[in-house]
A and B are shown apart, each in its own frame.
Chain A
Amino acid sequence: MVDDSLWIEADAGLRQLLAVLQGRGYETVGLTEQDGCITLGPIASADDLPRGRIMDTGGGHVRCRDGESDRFFDKTLPMQGLKRFVYPAHEAVAQFDDDLTITTPEVEMRPTAVFGVRACDVAAIDIFDVVFRKPPYTDARFAARRDGLLIVAVDCAVPLETCFCASMGTGPHATTGFDLALTELSDGGEHGFLVRAGSAAGRGILAELDGEAVRDDQVAAKRAQADAAAAAMTRSMPANVASVVRQSHDSPHWSEVASRCLTCANCTMVCPTCFCSTVEDRNALDGTAWRERRWDSCFSIEFSYIHGGGVRESAPARYRQWMTHKLGHWHDQFGMSGCVGCGRCIAWCPVGIDITAEAHVLAADLERAVPTMGDN
C-alpha cells in the first residue's frame, strides 16, 4: 500500500488537480450524470462532478437521487468501467480497398486522465493488461489506449447495495494499478482528500499540487472509513467459489437460473472484464470493405457455432459458461479471478439475477452432495 503524501482541500484541491491534468495535455474524464444515471464522460472542471448525488441499486435496479451530504464520491459507480476507453465496443481493425490493399486504421487515443476510478475498475484494467498482453501476443490497439490512460482512483467510503469487492479482494480501497488515488474525508469540519501517487506520472502531478502534510488522525480516519465500507457490503462471494463453479458442471441449478435468465447479454456488456469479441467483415457500396472487431457475448447461440450448430445451445449451458469462466476457468487461463466485485451484472440484469446468490446456492448444493466424515 502506497502511503498518502498530501492533503488537499475539497473544492480548491480538486479544481487544481483537474487544471494540472489539463495543463499536462490530458483529456479529463470523470463522473457525470446522464439519462438519470452516473456514467463516465468528459468533464471540464471539478464543478461538473455530480456532487452530492448517490445511486440506489439492487437486482435489476439503478436509480440516482440526492444524498444527505455534499461529498463527491459516496455510493456512486459509473454504469460502465474503463472498458470502452481501452477497448471500444466496435472498431475497424483492417480496411481493404478494391485492389486488396490492406490498411490498418491507426488508434486515435488522446492522452486521457480518468478521474474517480473505483478500486474494482482499477483491478479490471489490471486484468485486461494480462488478457491482452499474454505472451506470445500483444493486442497493440489495447496497449496504445491503455498506455494513454492516466488513472486517478478514488477510494470508496459508502458502497452500493450491489457491491461485493471486499470479498473479491479488490477494494474498497485501491492498492495498486493507479497513477494517483484519492481518499475523500469529511471529519471534524474539514472536507478534503488524501492523495497518494502510484506511478512516476502520478508523483510528477502530485508535486505540482498545493496541500498540507498528512496528519496521523487523517490516516486513522481513512482506515476506519475503509473498514466501514467493507463492513457495509451485504453481498459477498463464497471464498471457495473458484472450485465450486468448476465442480458444478452437472448441477441442476443451472436450469433453475436459466428459467429466469433472458440470455440478453447485459451482464457481459456492463462487466468491466468481459473481453470477448467477434470479428465481422463489412462492405461499403463503393467496393471497399473493412474488418470490424465488436464486443460479443457468450450468451448468444452463434458465439459457439461450428458447422452443424452451436456447442452451447441451451440457456443453462450459456449461463454456466459465463459464470464458470468468470469465477473458475479465469484462474486457469490467467492466474486470477475474472470478477472484481463491482456488482454491475446484478444491477443491470433485467430480471435481477445475482451472481453472488447463485454462487452461494451452488456452494451449498455442493456441500450437501459431498459426504462428510461419519456419513456411511
Chain B
Amino acid sequence: MPRSMAAPVWELGMEPVVYQVTGRHQELVDTVTLQMTPVDGPAMSFLPGQFTMMGLPGIGEIPVSISGSPNDGGPLTQTIRAVGKVSAAIAGLGVGDRLLMRGPFGEPWPVEEAVGRHLLIIAGGLGLAPVRPIVYWALANRGRLAGVELLYGARGPDYIPYGAQLLGWLASDRMTGSLIVDRHSDEWAGPVGPVTELIGRHATVDPAKTVAMVCGPEIMMRFVIQALEARGFADSDIWVSMERNMKCALGWCGHCQLGPVFVCRDGPVFRVDHVRNLMTQSEL
C-alpha cells in the first residue's frame, strides 16, 4: 500500500483566523492602532516582540508587530502605518470590520535577561510599537528590575505615537526616559537631534548592569549600537528587532533571509553580536 494518502490541512501555517476590530485610534496622520478580537474564542497570547501576519481577503497579507500589553489577555493591539496597498486597507478598517490573522510568530525580546538589571529601551519612529509590550511587561515586573529607561526619537512632535501614554509613563516615578525629535516646532521645548544624542546626554545607566533593547529604522539601530558601545556596552547586552519582506512567517517563502538567518523564525529579535556582520553588509 502507498505510505499515506491523507490530505491534511495546514497545521500552524498558512490558514488565517478571522478577527474583528473592536477599537480604533488614529495615532498619527498615517498611522492607526487597532484593537481586535477573534470572531470565535479568545485573542492569541503572545510575548513582547512577536508579530502576526495581518491580512484582508483578496488584498494580501503583511507582517505587523504586536504593540499591546502581553499581561492582560485582552484584545490584540497592533499599530499600522499606511505605506502600501495592504497596510492602507488595514489602516482604513473601522470598528466592526473583520480581517484575517495568523500568528503569533517570531522570537521575542528576552525580557527575563533584564531581571535584576537595568532595562534600557531605545526606539525610533514607529519602532516604538514593537517595544511597547516591553514597557507593559517591565511596569508589571518593576520590582524585579533595577530600573527602566526609555529613550525615544521621532521625526517631529507630530510623529509621536501613544503620545499621552508615553508622557504619562515618562512622568511616573516607576521609569525614566527622554524624548527627542529630528525637527522641532514652536511648541517643542525638548531636545532636538538624533536619538543617539540621548544616549550620551541622558542615559544614566551602568552598562555592566544593563540590557538594551533597540528598535527603529536599520540605520538608526546601527548608530545606536555604535553609541552604546562607545558608552561601554558589550554587544551581547544589546538586542535589536529587524525588518524584512515576509510572505509566510514560517521559514518557507525565503523572502526574509538576511544572510544565514530567517528574520521571521530566527528573529525578528536578535542579539547584536549574532547579527553585527549582517547589519553592515550592503544589499545582503
Q: Which residues of A contact B (CB under 8 A)?
A: 24-26, 93-94, 96, 100, 102, 104, 106-109, 111, 131-132, 134, 136-141, 143-144, 147-148, 150, 201, 249-250, 275-283, 289, 291, 293, 296, 298, 303-307, 311-314, 317, 320-321, 324-325, 328-329, 332-333
A96 and B247 contact, Cβ closer than 8 Å, known pairs A303-B255, A325-B257, A329-B257? no
Closest to B3 in A: A147
Chain B residues whose CB sits within 8 angstroms of the CB of A107 once the complex forms: 7-8
Contact B248–A304 (Cβ < 8 Å): no
Contact B58–A275 (Cβ < 8 Å): no
A275–B248 Cα distance when bound, in Å, is 12
Across the interface, A26 reaches (CB within 8 A) one of B2, B55, B284, namely: B2
Stretch from B13-21, B115-123, B207-215 forming part of the interface with A: B13-21
Chain B residues whose CB sits within 8 angstroms of the CB of A304 once the complex forms: 244-245, 255
A336–B261 Cα distance when bound, in Å, is 14
A-B contact count (CB 8 A): 154
Chain B residues whose CB sits within 8 angstroms of the CB of A289 once the complex forms: 57-58
Across the interface, B253 reaches (CB within 8 A) one of A106, A111, A296, namely: A296
Closest to A276 in B: B254
Contact A333–B262 (Cβ < 8 Å): yes
Contact B58–A96 (Cβ < 8 Å): yes
User: Distance (Å) between the CB of A179 and the closest chain B CB?
Assistant: 9
User: Distance (Å) between the CB of B186 and the closest chain A CB?
Assistant: 30
Contact B253–A276 (Cβ < 8 Å): yes
By Cβ-Cβ distance, the 7 closest A-B pairs, closest first, are: A289-B58, A276-B254, A332-B260, A111-B2, A317-B283, A96-B57, A147-B4
A306 and B245 contact, Cβ closer than 8 Å, known pairs A140-B9, A276-B255, A277-B252? yes
Contact B10–A329 (Cβ < 8 Å): no
Contact A144–B4 (Cβ < 8 Å): yes
The answer to the question of B149 belonging to the interface, with a C-beta cut-off of 8 Å to chain A, is no
Across the interface, A139 reaches (CB within 8 A) one of B13, B83, B281, namely: B13
A139 and B98 contact, Cβ closer than 8 Å, known pairs A107-B7, A144-B7? no
Contact A94–B253 (Cβ < 8 Å): no
A277 and B254 contact, Cβ closer than 8 Å, known pairs A24-B2, A306-B245, A332-B260? yes
The answer to the question of B29 belonging to the interface, with a C-beta cut-off of 8 Å to chain A, is no
Contact A137–B243 (Cβ < 8 Å): no
The answer to the question of B74 belonging to the interface, with a C-beta cut-off of 8 Å to chain A, is no
User: Distance (Å) between the CB of B6 and the closest chain A CB?
Assistant: 6
User: Distance (Å) between the CB of A90 and the closest chain B CB?
Assistant: 13
A303 and B10 contact, Cβ closer than 8 Å, known pairs A26-B2, A275-B254, A283-B58? no
A173–B186 Cα distance when bound, in Å, is 76
Chain A residues whose CB sits within 8 angstroms of the CB of B168 once the complex forms: none
The answer to the question of B164 belonging to the interface, with a C-beta cut-off of 8 Å to chain A, is no
Please name 9 further chain A to chain B contacts, defined as beta carbons within 8 Å, in addition to the given A131-B252, A137-B12, A283-B58, sorted by A numbering.
A26-B2, A109-B5, A139-B10, A276-B255, A277-B247, A277-B248, A282-B58, A291-B55, A296-B247
A134 and B251 contact, Cβ closer than 8 Å, known pairs A109-B7, A148-B2, A249-B284? yes
A324–B278 Cα distance when bound, in Å, is 13
Chain B residues whose CB sits within 8 angstroms of the CB of A282 once the complex forms: 58
Interface residues on B, range: 35 or more
User: Distance (Å) between the CB of A95 and the closest chain B CB?
Assistant: 9
The answer to the question of B189 belonging to the interface, with a C-beta cut-off of 8 Å to chain A, is no
Contact B254–A329 (Cβ < 8 Å): no
The answer to the question of B250 belonging to the interface, with a C-beta cut-off of 8 Å to chain A, is yes
A93–B13 Cα distance when bound, in Å, is 10
Contact B253–A137 (Cβ < 8 Å): no
Contact B260–A329 (Cβ < 8 Å): yes
The answer to the question of B60 belonging to the interface, with a C-beta cut-off of 8 Å to chain A, is yes
The answer to the question of B61 belonging to the interface, with a C-beta cut-off of 8 Å to chain A, is yes
Contact B259–A329 (Cβ < 8 Å): yes
Chain A residues whose CB sits within 8 angstroms of the CB of B251 once the complex forms: 134, 137
Contact A106–B7 (Cβ < 8 Å): yes
B57-77, CB under 8 A of A: which get 1 and which 0?
111110000000000000000
Chain A residues whose CB sits within 8 angstroms of the CB of B247 once the complex forms: 277-279, 296
Across the interface, A281 reaches (CB within 8 A) one of B61, B252, B260, namely: B61
B231-249, CB under 8 A of A: which get 1 and which 0?
0000000000001110110
A249–B280 Cα distance when bound, in Å, is 11
User: Distance (Å) between the CB of B242 and the closest chain A CB?
Assistant: 10
A249–B279 Cα distance when bound, in Å, is 13
Q: Which of A25, A306, A314 counts the most B-chain CB atoms under 10 A from its CB?
A: A306
A303–B283 Cα distance when bound, in Å, is 12
